[in-house]
Chains A and B, each alone.
Chain A
Amino acid sequence: MERRIPLSNMRINLFLALLLAATGATAEEPREVVLVVANESPIVAVSSLELRKLYLGLPVLLDGVLARPLRNHSDEQLQEIFFQSAMAMSEAAYERQLLSLTLRFGRLQPEVRHSAEELKAILRQDDNAITYMWRSDISGEDGIRVVKLLWLEH
């Protein structure tokens, strides 16, 4: 005889399991800063060197497309982590270097955006766009995927 579980009980169990998973993830998972692109973007992988070139205004072809870097100014700590871990310099040194390269080679500076939501909207519209943000900012977001882990909290 087949024993059937009532649908209402299944729903309650599923809800409790999801709640437990959600609360557990929030409390234990270390924070991460990740490099993200749109799901439809042809960009698959970005090396550390390519990333630095990209954000210093140099033209970089990533998987056949000319990437469009975007700076995320939505969070100050995110900025600090990005400049130290990814660019390996202070923000002041980065700005100096960027200005120097712009003046010497006439490169375009990466666009600056002050909102994570705005950045996500751009990523969805432009397959060549690439930016960095907290992993928590893209959890559950459709149409955006991670291409590189930039920083992992200890």
Chain B
Amino acid sequence: MARALNTLLGRILLFVLVSHAVLLPLLYLTLSHGTRVEAEETYLDYLRGYSRFIADLIENQSPPMPDSDVVAVMDSVVLGHDGVYAELRLPDRHLRSSILSDADEEGFKEDFAFNSHDDEVYYLSMAVRLGESEGQLNLGFSESYTAGEIAKLHRQILMSLAIYLLVAVLISIGMGVTLSRPLSGLQKASRQVALGDFSKTLTAHSSIAEIVELAHDLEFMRHELVQVNTKLKTEIAERQILEAKLRHSQRVETIGTMAGGIAHEFNNILVPITLYTNVVIEDLPEGSELRGYLLRVQRAARRARELVHKILAFSRQLEVEEKQPENLAKIVREATDLFSSLWHSSLDIKVEITDEPCFVYGDGTMLHQVVLNLCTNALKAMSGLEGRIRIALTTETRHLSTALQDQQGLGASYAKLTVEDNGMGMDAATSERIFEPFYTTRRVGEGTGLGLSVVHGIVLGHGGDIMVSSDIGMGSVFTIRLPLIPEGKPILKQTLLPT
């Protein structure tokens, strides 16, 4: 009950009922009193005027009206509408209507107000002069009919007020439903929005301006909420990616620093080994057994130098001597041509290179190695499987404001190299570690675990970035982005990055 009363419909209904419970009795009392007084006064004035007319009729005759005529006039009064009593009292005689019985005389009690003696007869007397005698004409009229009419009028008022109350209640119910229905719709929709269903639009099917405006405002708020929510989700996702990247970069950086240091030291150690091995080899005769051993030492030292070179490349401590504007499209085309010798006939390898100028500032040899390493990695991922490798080079341009938000400092235009395979793919933990040096999922002897580390080091050394997305059984996609420069001219980073 209390719940029903706390609804909009309940409150409107309660207000209407309470206000009418107070006002309707007052209205009824006022109306009934007014109509009763008016009806009674009208009737009594009619009786007084009629009685005076009868009195004048008797009085104003010349010669004076004989008693028999007076009795006839009084008979006429009693026989007429509402007439119940008529007599003329003179000092010397008493004339009465011949229709009346003696018992009727006892009931005469003069009235000055309607129904004042509860006898349902209105008695009144008029002064009359008949000839030389002054007397009183006493007449009585029934009040029943008028009282009945007044009661009927009161019933009609009561009925009208009941109908009015019913109509008021029905109107209030209609008004309550009209108001509450669109609000209920809004409430349900907003509840769904609160539960996360942002697709639900907040609309109100109503012609009431306030409700329509409320719905518009709520819909505007929902729209804003959806936008803010989407933006927030995107920012959270971006932040998570950035945090993951940061963690990954820090780990790779640490490993790279350590590996670079070791590689330097190792390189220093290799220098005398290589130098003195060469000296001794030159002094030894051709074909000697000892020379053969030293040649093996020389080859091993060379492989060790290559290894050191790769580690230094990963750790970006390799001195780049030939950094200059390079046509990346040309490098990718040459690398993929070279790579074609490794193509397996059962693999579908697709190369898509943009026709747009694609110049980057860097070392052509190293970039060449990047492409080869990625392609080799993709090919090894496809090993033993029939599949597809797609190598694509495109250029992309983005808005300057977006470029400024990019912490990599790629600039507004960059080259995008994608190497995509549908090989065995990797899980997230593997993806996380693939750029670490010496990390490999292959069997011992099938790889050093430095290929992707070298790619990572070279790309970062060229001011670019590298991303990988992979799912087990779905293949992997390596994406490299390198800042573009106008043909033949390097772009200064300071022009793009915020100070």
Contact = CB atoms under 8 A, between A and B. Distances in A.
Given A90-B48, A148-B134, A85 B60 contact: no
A77 B113 CA distance: 12
Contact of A47 (B41, B59, B112, B138): B59
Interface of A: 47-49, 52, 77, 80-81, 84-86, 88-90, 92-93, 148-154
A89 B51 CA distance: 10
Contact of A85 (B44, B59, B126, B134): B126
Contact of A89 (B45, B108, B125, B134): B45
A84 to B, nearest CB: 6
28 contacts: A48-B55, A48-B56, A48-B59, A48-B128, A49-B56, A80-B112, A81-B112, A84-B48, A84-B112, A85-B124, A85-B126, A86-B127, A88-B51, A88-B52, A88-B126, A89-B48, A90-B44, A92-B41, A93-B41, A93-B45, A151-B125, A151-B127, A152-B89, A153-B110, A154-B108, A154-B109, A154-B110, A154-B125
B136 A151 contact: yes
A151 B124 CA distance: 10
B473 interface: no
Contacts of B41: 90, 92-93
Contacts of B112: 77, 80-81, 84
Interface of B: 41, 44-45, 48-49, 51-52, 55-56, 59-60, 89, 108-110, 112, 124-129, 134, 136, 138
Contacts of A149: 127, 134
The 6 tightest CB contacts between A and B, nearest first, are A88-B52, A88-B48, A80-B112, A149-B134, A150-B127, A93-B45
Contacts of B44: 90
Contacts of A154: 108-110, 125, 138
Contact of B127 (A89, A92, A148): A148
A58 to B, nearest CB: 16
Contacts of A77: 112
Contacts of A151: 125, 127, 136
Contact of B124 (A52, A84, A93): A84
Contacts of B48: 84, 88-90
A142 to B, nearest CB: 23
Contacts of A81: 112
Given A47-B129, A152-B136, 13 more contacts: A47-B59, A48-B128, A84-B112, A84-B124, A85-B126, A86-B127, A89-B49, A90-B44, A90-B45, A90-B48, A148-B127, A149-B127, A154-B110
B105 to A, nearest CB: 10
Contacts of B59: 47-48
A47 B134 CA distance: 11
A41 B31 CA distance: 51
A90 B41 CA distance: 7
Contacts of A84: 48, 112, 124
A80 B109 CA distance: 15
